Structure 1
Amino acid sequence: MTALALATALASALPAGAAFAVPKGDKQPKAPAPPAKMSQVGGERLGLPGVQVGRLKAGAPQLPGPDALTARSWIISDADSGQVLAAKNPHWRLAPASTLKMLFADTVLPKFPKNEKRKVKAADLAGMGIGSSMVGIKENLTYTVHDLWLGVFLRSGNDAVHALSAMNGGTEATVKEMQKRAKELNATDTHVVTPDGYDAPGQVSSAYDLSLFARAGLQNADFREYCSTASAQFPGDEAKHGKRKTFGIQNTNRLLSGDFDIRPYPGIEGVKNGSTTNAGSTFTGLAERNGRKLLVTVMNPQKKEHNEGYREAARLLDWGFAAAGKVEPVGQLVGPQSGDRAAKRGADGKNDAQMGMHGSPDGSGSVLTAVGIGGGALALVGLGAALVLRRRRAGS
């Protein structure tokens, strides 16, 4: 067996997200090229390979170069209007990692009230992939739906996803519902195999579709709360006399919570990050500055440096805020097949009543403006912090 074959065999045994080194002297595998033709949902230029950016008007900055933006696929858009400011291979169907949890949340979150409780069974946690990210849920202990969603968004817990899927009729039923929801959102690049985004044969999405999932999910007030929470306390073991211990958890979205080598991004308001062996680093983020909200998705940076996906997302956001209003759009984030989401999904209207963002065929409405996500997220840095940061709606 050659050294490269041995390294490949070892890599297949590693848990998701693990890295391995190719022995010196062996050539690195050639990076795949994007398809020559991709989906044209949202505009013809979005189906072309390579970087697409509109005509820059006076005062607009140049887009950062390829050394600064190494991701295989990315897209930056105006979250309110849906106009795509620039993109690179946005319809390239790639492994999504835990950013797929945005679709999971958009599908399942409206179904169960926050205070509903679940006593977790062993069967609830069956079927998780080796090396899955987990928040620390244990069988035979009881958790509220609120607890479980904190586990999904902050720690990207596959155990929390599986517990919620069990409440929703099981993993298979949840996957089918997620695929149906993706179709409703015109997310034609997405094929769901697992509800948690864990690497699975045939499981793909795209930077364009992930932006659609984020934009749809952000219509829900609970979704906005969870994705913008930097840290929280999570239920632990049962103590004597019935008192429950808790432990601190911190959001793994480093543009929200920060890290030793990166600061929280000013104005960040969520949304979701991910990382697996097949997907590399993936990230979708929403940020606000001077009343303008931008949505960015980055998939699989080729520069393998720590927190590189967040750095490239931040560069795109910086450019987008400087170029907004000074660059012609290259496409559009489309609306769903049906604008009447509340009726279609049985929502009670409390979280999803304002449908402006997707209420028109071109997605030109603005539910983000209507509900006012703004105000800027406060990132609470430090593993010992216990405060749950909640979003405040404008005017409330």
Structure 2
Amino acid sequence: MTIGFSSRTARVARVAVCCSAACVMGALALASSPQGGRLSPGAGAQDAKAEQEPPSLYRPGTHVRPRPGAPRVPRDVSAVAWLVADARTGEVLAAHNAHRRLPPASTLKTLFALTVLPGLPAGLRHTVEREELAGVGAGSSLVGVKENRTYRVADLWRGVFLSSGNDAVRVLAALNGGWRTTAEQMRDKARSLGARDTHVVSPDGYDAPGQVSSAYDLAVFGRAGLRNAEFAEYCATARAKFPAGGSAYGIQNTNRLLTGAGVDRYPGLIGIKNGYTSNAGNTLISAAERDGRTLVVTVMRPRAGGGFAVYEETRSLLDWGFRAAGRVDPVGSLLPPRPAAAPQASLESPYVREEKKKEKKEVATGPGWPEAGAITGAAGFGAAAVVLTLRLKKGRLTRD
């Protein structure tokens, strides 16, 4: 005589066991889900799409969001690209082809200064060697740096900002570790500032294949420069003396809005840098202050009006920006994107990272049970169901 389950009890037990198995399989499926059950269907795809959606400034054309009563953007601006921004907040008030990549000419020297200036003390004295002046491009603007002559770093920076001297850039780059090293550092600096349109080949801004920037990026460099006291002082200097052996000669800033040479000086102007090459045309980064507000304006390659058009179009955009402040909503920002927080594990040894991976495998099941707990709980629930079912049967064990 054997002891066993009755056929009816066996059927009930099989059903309970199947329920238990289903619970376990469900817990396993949830544990292997990449979303952990926390996101609603399609939420991950929607988030990814939102991150990839470009802001309006990446689309060509003019972008401005006027409120009622706001002045109209000047129609006489012929530049291929331009931008107006609040220097304090970084808010872009209006722009045209903001991210179009164009040759920057000597406005790229702003990025050169942002990169190199902090590492070279202004009072450092240096005697120029012949090889440091090698490679200056034909037709470059020069301040008159001579070999075997000693200059302070501050003198060389005035040569860069006022005379746009490519010879001064060459010497400063040599002090910084070399031409190629400086170009690489400038590319890194641009990326750190969120200036993704800029590619540096020649640190002085001299025309080179593949060297580009944008109205947006140049405004980023100008705004960042104003936050550096030395940069701000150099770019606002209209006239200075440059050493020439035992004497010195006068140099004047090539930014005509600052000096008033050939055009009316702009009231409240505080720099920043102009540029010109036959390939780039005229480019200009300017900043001006009025009634406690500072604006940054970039203008790249005017297509009409002659050589002074870059200054007059900048004037129109500055005037508009001061009138429009508080009457338009921003269309973008010059602030760099917030960097993603680095995972803590990246600061730990590989061994520690592997151990933590083993310990912290979690799934989003209800209140955040660990994976093993979820599976164990499901299995236990199923087993309890079997026992309960059998106990509910009177005479749960029968003799056949």
Q: Which string of whole-angstrom CA distances, capped at 9 and with x for unpartnered residues, describes residues 219-262 of structure 1?
A: 111001000000001001x3xxxxx11000000011101113x1
Match in the other structure for 1:195: 203
TM-score by length of 1: 0.71
Q: CA deviation at 1:306?
A: 2.9
Q: Which string of whole-angstrom CA distances, capped at 9 and with x for unpartnered residues, describes residues 76-100 of structure 1?
A: 0111111111100010000000000
Q: CA deviation at 1:320?
A: 0.5
Structure 1 distance, partners of 2:259, 2:171, is: 25
Structure 2 distance, partners of 1:57, 1:328, is: 11
Match in the other structure for 2:96: 88
Which AA in structure 2 matches 1:142? T
The structure carrying a bigger helix percent of its residues is: 2
Structure of greater Rg: 2
Match in the other structure for 1:259: 261
Q: CA deviation at 1:69?
A: 0.3
Structure 1 distance, partners of 2:86, 2:213, is: 20
Residue 63 (structure 2) pairs with residue 52 (structure 1): yes
What is the DSSP-based 3-state SS (H/G/I as helix, E as strand, rest coil) of the residue aligned with 1:54?
strand
Kindly indicate whether structure 1 or structure 2 has the higher relative contact order, using CA contacts under 8 Å at least 6 residues apart.
2
Residue 136 (structure 2) pairs with residue 136 (structure 1): no
Structure 1 distance, partners of 2:52, 2:157, is: 31
Q: CA deviation at 1:163?
A: 0.5
- Structure 2 counterparts to residues 214-233 of structure 1, below 5 A: 214-233=222-241
Match in the other structure for 1:107: 115
Residue 157 (structure 2) pairs with residue 149 (structure 1): yes
Match in the other structure for 1:21: none
- Structure 2 counterparts to residues 257-296 of structure 1, below 5 A: 257-260=259-262, 262-296=263-297
Residue 189 (structure 2) pairs with residue 181 (structure 1): yes
Match in the other structure for 2:310: 309
Query: 1:42·1:332 contact (CA, 8 Å) conserved in 2?
Result: no
Residue 130 (structure 2) pairs with residue 122 (structure 1): yes
Structure 2 distance, partners of 1:42, 1:322, is: 31
| Percent identity of paired positions between Structure 1 and Structure 2 | 55
Q: Which string of whole-angstrom CA distances, capped at 9 and with x for unpartnered residues, describes residues 322-380 of structure 1?
A: 111011111111226669xxxxxxxxxxxxxxxxxxxxxxxxxxxxxxxxxxxxxxxxx
Structure 2 distance, partners of 1:142, 1:151, is: 14
- Structure 2 counterparts to residues 11-30 of structure 1, below 5 A: none
Match of 2:178 among 170, 174, 178: 170
Between the two proteins, the alignment pairs up a number of residues equal to: 290
Q: Quick one: structure 1 residues 336 and 150, their matched pair in 2 at CA, closer, same or farther if it must change by over 3 Å? A: farther
Residue 84 (structure 2) pairs with residue 61 (structure 1): no
Match in the other structure for 1:12: none
What is the DSSP-based 3-state SS (H/G/I as helix, E as strand, rest coil) of the residue aligned with 2:272?
strand
Match in the other structure for 1:8: none
Structure 2 distance, partners of 1:111, 1:155, is: 22
What is the DSSP-based 3-state SS (H/G/I as helix, E as strand, rest coil) of the residue aligned with 1:222?
helix
Structure 1 distance, partners of 2:293, 2:52, is: 24
Structure 1 distance, partners of 2:338, 2:136, is: 32
How large is the Cα RMSD of the aligned pairs? Answer: 1.7
Which AA in structure 2 matches 1:246? A
Structure 1 distance, partners of 2:68, 2:269, is: 26
Structure 2 distance, partners of 1:271, 1:42, is: 33
Which AA in structure 2 matches 1:245? S
TM-score by length of 2: 0.71
Structure 2 distance, partners of 1:134, 1:336, is: 37
